[in-house]
Amino acid sequence: MQKMYDILIIGGGPAGLAAGIYGSRARLHTAILEKGALGGQAVTTGELENYPGFFDGMSGPDVMKKISTHAKHFGTEFLTGTVTRAEFSGPIKRVFTDDGQEYQAKSVILAPGAEPRQLGVEGEREFRGRGVSYCATCDADFFEELDVAVVGNGDAAIEEALYLTRFANQVTMIVPHDEGVLYGNRTSVEKALANPKLKICWNSEIVKITGDGIVQSVLLRNVKTGEPGELALDGVFIFVGTVPKTGFLKEAVALDDAGYISVNERMETNIPGVYAAGDACAKFLRQVVTAVADGAIAAVAAEKYIEETETFRRQVLEADRPVLLLFWAARVPESVAGAGIIEAQLAGREDVRLVKLHAIHDKKTAEAYGVYATPTVLLFHDGKVLNRVDGPFTAEQVAALLMGLPAAK
């Protein structure tokens, strides 16, 4: 029998782990599906000085271990596999992995993360793992007392360059901008400019990585003058942004032009019951702290979605008698009056049930049935809409609606 989850989370980085904590703590059957080690890109980060509460030098792997332990404590289940395809069109979401497994869930949270963007220069692919790296935490100790370059000029590049100064003899940042222009937070920039083991090669870009089996130098070009140059070194660390790992989602959810998942403030995708969180989302800031926040929001939104859809299924779609479904809002006088009209019409009748849904709290259900005004009443029988009245209605209109009931069996 196919195992069914309440929430299936794809990706075990900070966003996925946070979603796991919130989903499991809500007593929902929650699982995280991850192809590799837990923690995502955060486990490649030396120190998380800007993560609240961990300013005293805790590493990315340490923080991620604590968060994953937290998720396990509340009962999050951990699955291993690489997702190759997803089908989200029906009420039950289906996810398929490269080892032939199929997972089903009432809701899905997409947190696949992103991976380092390649520089795209000659020699980069050839020397990957032989002097070319995208992870200072992973590889810094291989370059102890050697000379390395860091390509990039944002927060990640600056922080990783500072980390590398603990190991390397000399760290050179290759920056395409004018002297003094670094796009990192002020504290990190000040540390970088003051560090005697870190120098910056301004107005420059790498055009080729060279060596004999291992990296030995990089060929440079001045972006202003076109003048060539060469820098002898033993390693190149590249931090020029990320690419979302969303290739398996091209037919499943809406992506922007760069391949990031489009979401709203509730982390909802364009598919009901499917949410996204973390670095794979189209967003302004990609940090551990924002990924964790995304995961929490997505899990709470998924919890509300499950509660709403299951209540609706039980009370309306699978009801043992016809149902008058009233969408209303407690602070709208016409809604309160409409509820009173229906209750009066149904007084003493047991062949019809009244179900009231708040148009704001049950927004997804309202949208699914094209309800954009309150009060609106729909007549359901055997899970189908027989008739409806949109907007304020009269007792006569409700009576006419009830006249459309099928004859009792």
CATH code, domain carrying 330: 3.40.30.10
292 and 383 share one domain: no
Contact 113, 40 (CB under 8 A): yes
| C-alpha to C-alpha distance for 116 and 208, rounded to whole angstroms | 19
44 and 108 share one domain: yes
11 and 111 share one domain: yes
| Active-site annotation holder among 98, 138, 178, 256 | 138
Residue 119 makes CB contacts below 8 A (sequence gap 6+) with 151, 206, 238, 240
Residue 390: strand pairing partners: 376
Known active-site residue 294? no
Domain count, the chain: 3
**Measuring CA to CA, which residue among 329, 324, 378 is closest to residue 354?**
324
Q: What is the DSSP letter of 313?
A: I
pLDDT for position 136: 85
58 and 102 share one domain: yes
End position of a domain, from candidates 238, 261, 285: 238
226 and 324 share one domain: no
Please indicate, yes or no, if residue 330 is contained in any of the structural domains: yes
Question: In this predicted model, what pLDDT tens digit does every residue of 276-311 receive, in sequence order?
Answer: 999 999 998 888 899 999 999 999 999 999 998 998
Question: In this predicted model, what pLDDT tens digit does every residue of 67-126 receive, in sequence order?
Answer: 999 999 999 999 999 999 999 988 999 999 999 999 999 999 999 999 889 999 999 999
User: What separation in angstroms does the CA of 259 have from each of 232, 244, 263?
Assistant: 37, 6, 12
Q: Is the pLDDT of residue 1 over 60?
A: no
Please indicate, yes or no, if residue 124 is contained in any of the structural domains: no
Kindly state the average pLDDT of the residues 208-224.
95
Chain-centre distance of CA 92, in angstroms?
Answer: 20
pLDDT for position 307: 92
Structural domain for 396, as ranges: 319-403
Contact 256, 244 (CB under 8 A): no
158 and 218 share one domain: yes
Question: In this predicted model, what pLDDT tens digit does every residue of 379-403 receive, in sequence order?
Answer: 999 999 999 999 899 999 999 998 8
Number of Cβ within a 10 Å radius of residue 118 = 15
Question: Could you tell me the maximum CA-CA distance found in the chain, to the nearest angstrom?
Answer: 91
Known active-site residue 135? yes
229: domain CATH number is 3.50.50.60
80 and 146 share one domain: no
140 and 227 share one domain: yes
End position of a domain, from candidates 312, 339, 358: 312
Please indicate, yes or no, if residue 297 is contained in any of the structural domains: yes
Kindly state the average pLDDT of the residues 203-221.
95
pLDDT for position 229: 95
pLDDT for position 241: 86
pLDDT band at 141 (very low <50, low <70, confident <90, very high): confident
Is the dihedral angle over the CA atoms 121, 123, 126, 127 positive or is it negative? negative
User: What separation in angstroms does the CA of 48 have from each of 61, 194, 289?
Assistant: 10, 20, 10
pLDDT for position 46: 66
112 and 259 share one domain: yes
Known active-site residue 281? no
The residue with greater pLDDT, 407 or 404, is: 404
pLDDT for position 55: 72
188 and 266 share one domain: no
| C-alpha to C-alpha distance for 378 and 393, rounded to whole angstroms | 12
Chain-centre distance of CA 188, in angstroms?
Answer: 27
Q: Is the pLDDT of residue 316 over 90?
A: yes
Please indicate, yes or no, if residue 127 is contained in any of the structural domains: no
247 and 108 share one domain: yes
Please indicate, yes or no, if residue 125 is contained in any of the structural domains: no
Please indicate, yes or no, if residue 121 is contained in any of the structural domains: no
The fraction of the chain above a pLDDT of 90, given in percent, is 73
Please indicate, yes or no, if residue 168 is contained in any of the structural domains: yes
Residue 97 makes CB contacts below 8 A (sequence gap 6+) with 33, 81, 82, 83, 84, 103
pLDDT for position 70: 96
pLDDT band at 60 (very low <50, low <70, confident <90, very high): confident
| Active-site annotation holder among 6, 98, 99, 139 | 139
Q: Is the pLDDT of residue 409 over 70?
A: no
pLDDT for position 407: 59
- 100 by Cβ neighbours in 10 Å (0-12 / 13-18 / 19+) ranks as exposed
End position of a domain, from candidates 205, 238, 271: 238
276 and 301 share one domain: yes
User: What separation in angstroms does the CA of 86 have from each of 90, 102, 297?
Assistant: 11, 9, 22
Q: How many CA atoms lie within 13 A of 281 on its CB side?
A: 31
| Active-site annotation holder among 6, 56, 135, 382 | 135
pLDDT band at 185 (very low <50, low <70, confident <90, very high): confident
Q: Is the pLDDT of residue 359 over 80?
A: yes
Q: Is the pTM of this model over 0.85?
A: no
Q: What is the mean pLDDT of the chain?
A: 91
| C-alpha to C-alpha distance for 357 and 304, rounded to whole angstroms | 14
Question: In this predicted model, what pLDDT tens digit does every residue of 5-58 receive, in sequence order?
Answer: 999 999 999 999 999 999 999 999 999 999 988 888 787 776 677 788 877 767
| C-alpha to C-alpha distance for 329 and 362, rounded to whole angstroms | 11
Please indicate, yes or no, if residue 147 is contained in any of the structural domains: yes
